[in-house]
Amino acid sequence: MADALLTLEGVHTHIGPYHILHEVSFAVPRGGVTMLLGRNGAGKSTTLRTIMGLWKASRGQITFDGRPIQGLATPDIARAGIAYVPENMGIFADLTVAENMRLAATNGPFDEKRLTWIKELFPPIGTFWDKAAGTLSGGQKQMLSVARAIIEPRRLILIDEPSKGLAPAIIAAMTAALKQLKDTDTTILLVEQNFAMASALGDTVAVMDDGRIVHAGAMAELAADASLQEKLMGLSLEVHQ
Amino acid sequence: MSETAIRPRLVGPTATERLGKAAPLLLAPVLALIGLAAIGNPSVWLTLTVAGLAMGLMIFIMASGLTVVFGLMDVINFGHGAFVSVGAFVGFTVLAWLSGWTQNPAVVLNLAAVFLAILASMAVTGALGLAFERVIVKPVYGHHLKQILVTMGGLIVAQQLIHVIWGPDAIHVARPPSLQGSFIVGEAAIEKYRMLAVAIGLVLFLAMRHVLRATKLGLLVRAGVENGEMVEALGYRINRLFLLVFMAGSALAGLGGIMWGLYQETITAHMGSEIMVLVFVVVIIGGLGSIEGCFIGALLVGLLANYMAFLAPKAALVSTIALMVAILMWRPQGLYPVVKAK
């Protein structure tokens, strides 16, 4: 794991009386896209929330760029350079698109060049700049959520199921945008159930089941091995292809 | 991502939704027109309307802090009334110290004394809010029942402390000479102090709107009301924001307290808990977390209370509750809910 930007080692998470994550260990290599796959309820979102400190790891170590972060408060983890796109998108519906973006720019005014790039990447951001975010469609909200995460250069972006509930055309467009983001050497940890999106974007993969990592390796390896896919993820994989 | 892949299309709001959103703005003018039709005499109506606006805006001052605390922190603060009472008593003390100014007929000295009393009230209740949040509220975040119990406890302690410091009796607070009496407009008598209350209330509403709409701090508060967790995930410490808002809310209650005390010309340790019924009605009518809703709700309550006191004094007591019931039947979450009731 010499080139890992983020590592989880033996992480356990409890939510109230429930033991959700069990001994979760995997690494996110620097500069690539790591896919976190698994069926519903496997613990993928909990893993991202644990990394962000929204739920505290009850045991184990989370290391970001050589520094343990599992004891830090969420704002400190964010300020260390980790952006988070939650499953529910976390859009502030009462605020305009511009205001959502302004809040995400924690270091001050926008970098105009970067903002222009984002507007090219996600055209609705520019089109609806002064509209309330709550009036956007589901796909547009998802774009705003990702745009917010990249308004300033981040060292790691955690994205939770960006394809969820979106039409196929929007998923294709989102995949293309994330590919462009990947080409900027941004490190991404991406939770997905859509295997087509996962295989198009992923360099490495970790598969979860029942709160445990059941497989970790190269994405190309898993994409090429139908029997391994079947073994790890069963029918749910085919349904989403 | 090409334009052809995703054609930007704005979904809603429809014309009906836009009309529905604008409808609450018409409520206060419509109520005023109904009042005019029912009262008949324009001079009496003008006097009652100014009185209603003044009363409403003073309630707004007290309620605005509470609604933001509700919305942002999900805290039910039954102790909010304590800040109203303490604010009134601190203001009274400052006015008593400045009796040379308050008894002088010069308008400037009178207003200076009132504004110093307001500043002192806000400073003391803001500091009290800091202690209240750290000691009483912070341990019970996320537990509504415990919040009700401990904030009620805090209210009782504050009332008893007022008894210890200022004594158990009601105290008469005289307005400075230049704030006594009325302006005569046609046949209508408009109390000078009510005009001051209207002016302060409107300035405060506009200032709050500006802060909430045009500053990053305001954006953070509005975002925090909607999704505090996401505000933290963006890198902001919402606990500090909570504390700041709680202190601001407490200071506003203190301001409301001295204004209300000068309006009633009598202050008691229980005045805060008594006015809290109207404050809660306004917060519920407006919708949790909404300054605009709170403003409209306060105007409605103030106008209705004054019209009804003139038209049907016996019904005046229940009119505000009836108004709340009617609004909730129309909009179960209040006029402009920012936070959906759980």
Catalogue all structural domains in chain B, each as residue range(s) with its CATH number: 41-171+180-330 (1.10.3470)
Residue B229 near chain A (CB below 8 Å): yes
Those residues with Cβ within 8 angstroms of residue B15's Cβ, 6 or more apart along the chain or in another chain: none
Residue B10 near chain A (CB below 8 Å): yes
Whether the per-residue pLDDT at A85 is higher than 60: the answer is yes
Whether the per-residue pLDDT at A46 is higher than 90: the answer is yes
Find the residue in A nearest to B220 (Cα): A103
Are the beta carbons of B11 and A135 separated by less than 8 Å?
yes
Whether the per-residue pLDDT at A235 is higher than 60: the answer is no
Whether the per-residue pLDDT at A230 is higher than 90: the answer is no
Catalogue all structural domains in chain A, each as residue range(s) with its CATH number: 1-81+155-167+182-241 (3.40.50.300), 88-153 (no CATH)
Residue A146: predicted pLDDT? 93
Of A54, A172, A180, the CB nearest to B229: A54
Instruction: Report residue B42 as tokens.
Output: 């324009």
What is the Rg, in whole angstroms, of the alpha carbon atoms belonging to chain A? Answer: 17
Q: Which residue ranges in chain B fall short of pLDDT 50?
A: 1-5, 342
Query: Taking the complete model, does pTM exceed 0.90, yes or no?
Result: no
Whether the per-residue pLDDT at A239 is higher than 90: the answer is no
Residue B68: predicted pLDDT? 83
Tell me the shortest Cα–Cα distance from A93 to chain B, in angstroms.
Answer: 8
B33-41: long-range pairs with CB below 8 Å, 24+: B35/B303, B35/B307, B38/B307, B38/B311, B39/B307, B39/B310, B39/B311
Q: Is the ipTM of this complex over 0.95?
A: no
Interatomic CA distance for residues B80 and B63, integer angstroms: 9
Q: Which of B242, B240, B225, B262 is nearest to B84 (CA)?
A: B262
Report pLDDT digits (tens) over A187-223.
999 998 888 888 889 999 999 999 999 999 999 988 8
Dihedral in degrees, nearest 10, Cα atoms B166, B167, B172, B178: -10
Report pLDDT digits (tens) over A155-179.
999 999 988 878 888 888 888 888 9
Q: For B87-123, give one letter per residue: b (16+ CB within 10 A) or e.
A: bbbbbbbbbeebeebbebeeeebbeebbebbbbbbbe
Residue A15: phi and psi, rounded to 5, are -120, 105
Residue B12: list chain A partners with CB under 8 A. Answer: 135
Tell me the shortest Cα–Cα distance from A236 to chain B, in angstroms.
Answer: 27
